[in-house]
Structure 1
Amino acid sequence: MKKIEAGAIQYVLVVSIIIMIVLFAFISLVFLQNRIRLKSEVYKETVHASYVGFDYLSQKQLPYNTPTEVQFSELDGEKTSITKKHWGVFDLAIVRSTLKNETFQKIALLGNQKEDRKALYLQNNNQPLVVVGNTKITGDVILPQKGITTGNISGVAYYGNELVYGNIKTNSGQLPTIHNLDYIIQITQEYPLDEVQMFDLKEGIKLRNSFEEKTLGFETEAPLDLRNMSLEGNIVLMSRSQIRVFRSAVLEDVILIAPKVILESGVKGSCQIFAEEKIWIKEGVELNYPSGLTLIDSSILKGKNKEINIQIDKRAQIKGVVLYYNKNKESDYTTQVAVKEGAKVTGEVYCNKNFELGGSVDGFVYTSNFIANQAGGIYMNHLYNGQINAKAISEHYKGMFVETDKVTIAKWLE
């Protein structure tokens, strides 16, 4: 019998081992690829279910602060939890989808997108709207039954070619309803502190709080000056007297509540402000979308010496909501909301008393009256050099829940 040399046997064994290693590596690679593919498919399903959850939210009236569980696919174990909350004049939604060991979550601020977007809704007070100077209204409008006409203030006439650059309809009723007005009034007067975890606010602080966590809050009886700090997310600051924000403070998506709130020149960021007496936005302030200025006035209007409730100075830019509401039926000849010459609101203004527009609104205006303080006189339902342009705002703008409470995504938060 021919003998096989030991070296040859060793060679065969080495080759065999190498082949086994290669085969094992190949099988492991195939297994790993299949596992990654399956994991990726599962993850894609959770992502898809989350976005379907936001579509579902826009079509259903879900309760606040109560998770709603829905299954959007036929896959075993797929589950999507939807929680809707209030966040100022907007709503907030947390949508979390799970499938097997995968979880995907998105948090968004919700607003209202009206299909029939009017540049102006002016309440019927048996007076026509009088346009003067460089006033220009672009978009469809709803006006009092007496319509619109031109006027003259101290020798200044109307310079436009058309009274309205859009279609005109008339109304005989009140301003449209704000669907979450009761909640807005509640948090302006007394924020529910049982929903808040208090924290220590000090100069130099840098704090970000997720909207998945409990709201962080700070409350004081004294005037509160915000400077040299950065605050972002699920945070509420409250003062029983006044809040003043300086340009060295960086605010993002936070809520400020005080009788008086002042934003000093040069402030930039985004926030929602709630006051009962005064909101003063000084020159050059820039508030990014979706911000909000809300003043709920419970006082009886006292006459021409009453100061302006919401004042937006020249070169200030507000992207979002400006809301003034007074439940008292009395009216006077004072200004409740003033957008000064050179100031701009990109979004919507809702004022159920007197609105003085010397600057511009790219978006929509709802008001009971316009007022113009010019040449030492007070002119009711006069619009002097004001610009309203519903066509200049993005079709994706989401704002207050006026006329309808249908929700859709205003901003992705997390």
Structure 2
Amino acid sequence: MRLRKKVKAGALQFVLFMGAVIAVLLMTFVLLHNIHQLFDKKTTKVVEVVKKADMGIQYAMGQNLQNNVPTTLGLGLDDGIEVTMTKSYWGIFETYRAESKFKKIQFSKVALVGGRLENDFPALYLKDNDRPMIIAGSAKITGSAYLPKQGIRPGGISGRFYQFQTPVYGSTHESSKTLPQVDGGFKTNLKQMMMDDKVNSSVEQLRFKPNLVAANSFESPTQFMYGDVLRFSEGELKGNIVVKARGSITIGKGCAIQDVVFVAPKIMVEDGFTGRLQALATEEIQVGKKAYLRYPSALVVDRGDEPNPKNRRIPHILIQDGAIINGVVGYFGTHEDNVLYPQIKVSEKALIQGEVYCEKALELKGTVLGKVATDSFIAMENGSIYQNHLFNGNIDATKLTAEYGGLLLNSDKTVVKWMY
């Protein structure tokens, strides 16, 4: 006898509903898995594009790229990622802009580049002018030193004799008749920036006004500001901006400055200013008391072959008491006239963390944590002039971080700062 049992329609509907739910869930899991795989692939490619930009910058720093000419790099990897590099200058430093691209994925990066510290870099390189160096007072040299053939010996000025046991706390070597050579492209660009005082109507210009607030990314074209005599007392300037004046520029402590380049015959940074900038002048730079310039800052005077006035007695670069400079201080001049005053003067209690490069005479009474390269020293005391004397100044190469990047010499390069 066969039993017959009827199944209710509601139960059948429930079974069909559960089957549909399970099918939707399975399709969802499959879709999520595919999306996850696609996302992983895209993320991996984005990371590769970013890494390729970094590789491009590191590779380009070792190549002789033309200035402001985009160059496509072949990095030896057949991954479909295209990298284009553009080299240019920003003040005394170089900039490298990397643009990496894969289909619709694009990434760009701008690096500020300076000279890398060589291994066991010297605290002092003093050009050989056929006369010995005299060290006196509380002066001290810590690190290796390149000195004239006649060497170095302790001495005294106004009864203040050398206080330590040995003239150099480090190894000594014989210097040559020339200073370490500066990169030729850097010097050409520096002269061009200083000589070109004409207003370029084809570039974006900023108009000077009190309390001006302006910021410009290094991903954008450079903005320029022109004037005759400019004084910045308040306001804010940040980024890819060049300020040029035919007369002078004064920067007050009430003005916030980051990464801006100033170009003028005379540039004054007032007492108490804090910021990060590059000052490029043809005549004079003064940094006031207790001013603080963050890394990487630069103070450079380039006289070229222009002779100095015979009645001039003030330094071309004066760093006053208590000022702190993080970066480069440099004087360039090929004139042959013999001047009996310092081209760079670092006052007592002033501090430079970085380097000083002087193609003429340096008066160092403050401290340099880093390196010094100079044609000669000079000391001005009690109305007397002491040639090739280091008096009370301190040079210590051991206190400068190995990551420092500065003046572009004919050596390796390093990233000083990633620009925004």
The question of a shared fold, defined as TM-score above 0.5 by the shorter chain, is answered with: yes
Task: Assess, with a 3 A threshold, how the Cα gap between structure 1 residues 44 and 172 changes in structure 2: closer, same or farther.
Answer: closer
**2:401 maps to 1:391:** no
Given residue 342 of structure 1, which amino acid in structure 2 is its aligned partner? K
Partner of 1:79: 82
Partner of 1:134: 138
Contact 1:303–1:333 at 8 Å: present in 2 too?
no
Q: Shift in Å at residue 301 of structure 1?
A: 2.8
Contiguous gaps of at least 5 residues in structure 1: none
Partner of 1:209: 216
Counterpart CA distance in 1 for 2:44 and 2:76 is 13
Given residue 166 of structure 2, which amino acid in structure 1 is its aligned partner? E
Provide TM-score, normalisation by structure 1: 0.95
Partner of 2:179: 175
SS where residue 394 of structure 1 aligns?
coil
SS where residue 77 of structure 1 aligns?
coil
Q: Which of 73, 95, 99 is 1:92 aligned to?
A: 95
Partner of 2:277: 271
Counterpart CA distance in 1 for 2:236 and 2:52 is 34
Given residue 270 of structure 1, which amino acid in structure 2 is its aligned partner? R
Partner of 1:294: 300
Q: Shift in Å at residue 76 of structure 1?
A: 4.3
Q: Shift in Å at residue 59 of structure 1?
A: 2.1
Contact 2:88–2:96 at 8 Å: present in 1 too?
yes
**1:166-245 correspondence to structure 2 within 5 Å:** 166-179=170-183, 180-190=186-196, 194=200, 196-221=203-228, 223-245=229-251
**2:40 maps to 1:33:** no
Q: Shift in Å at residue 315 of structure 1?
A: 0.9
**2:159 maps to 1:155:** yes
Counterpart CA distance in 2 for 1:197 and 1:405 is 35
SS where residue 27 of structure 2 aligns?
helix
Partner of 1:124: 128
Contact 2:117–2:402 at 8 Å: present in 1 too?
no
**2:315 maps to 1:308:** yes
Contact 1:118–1:390 at 8 Å: present in 2 too?
yes
Task: Assess, with a 3 A threshold, how the Cα gap between structure 1 residues 74 and 370 changes in structure 2: closer, same or farther.
Answer: closer
Counterpart CA distance in 1 for 2:311 and 2:360 is 14
Given residue 331 of structure 2, which amino acid in structure 1 is its aligned partner? Y
After superposition, what is the alpha-carbon deviation per residue over 1:143-187, rounded to whole angstroms, capped at 9, x for unaligned? 111110111111110001111011111123111221121221221
Task: Assess, with a 3 A threshold, how the Cα gap between structure 1 residues 172 and 205 changes in structure 2: closer, same or farther.
Answer: closer
Counterpart CA distance in 1 for 2:198 and 2:85 is 22
Partner of 1:60: 63
Counterpart CA distance in 2 for 1:182 and 1:112 is 17
Task: Assess, with a 3 A threshold, how the Cα gap between structure 1 residues 174 and 71 changes in structure 2: closer, same or farther.
Answer: closer
Task: State which drifts further: 98-107 or 224-233.
Answer: 98-107
Task: State which drifts further: 302-311 or 103-112.
Answer: 302-311
Contact 1:71–1:78 at 8 Å: present in 2 too?
no
Counterpart CA distance in 1 for 2:193 and 2:322 is 30
Partner of 2:363: 356
SS where residue 333 of structure 1 aligns?
coil
Counterpart CA distance in 2 for 1:397 and 1:254 is 20
Task: State which drifts further: 6-15 or 256-265.
Answer: 6-15
RMSD of aligned Cα (Å):
1.7
SS where residue 326 of structure 2 aligns?
strand
SS where residue 241 of structure 1 aligns?
strand
Given residue 409 of structure 1, which amino acid in structure 2 is its aligned partner? V
After superposition, what is the alpha-carbon deviation per residue over 1:377-414, rounded to whole angstroms, capped at 9, x for unaligned? 11111101000111110011111112x15322111113
Seq. identity, %: 33
Partner of 1:329: 336
Q: Shift in Å at residue 13 of structure 1?
A: 2.3
Given residue 81 of structure 2, which amino acid in structure 1 is its aligned partner? E
Given residue 209 of structure 1, which amino acid in structure 2 is its aligned partner? N
Counterpart CA distance in 1 for 2:87 and 2:289 is 36
SS where residue 258 of structure 1 aligns?
strand
Q: Shift in Å at residue 17 of structure 1?
A: 2.1
Given residue 230 of structure 1, which amino acid in structure 2 is its aligned partner? E
Contact 1:72–1:78 at 8 Å: present in 2 too?
no
Counterpart CA distance in 2 for 1:366 and 1:33 is 58
Contiguous gaps of at least 5 residues in structure 2: none
Contact 2:215–2:239 at 8 Å: present in 1 too?
yes
After superposition, what is the alpha-carbon deviation per residue over 1:98-148, rounded to whole angstroms, capped at 9, x for unaligned? 123222221110011132411111111121110001110011111111110
SS where residue 22 of structure 1 aligns?
helix
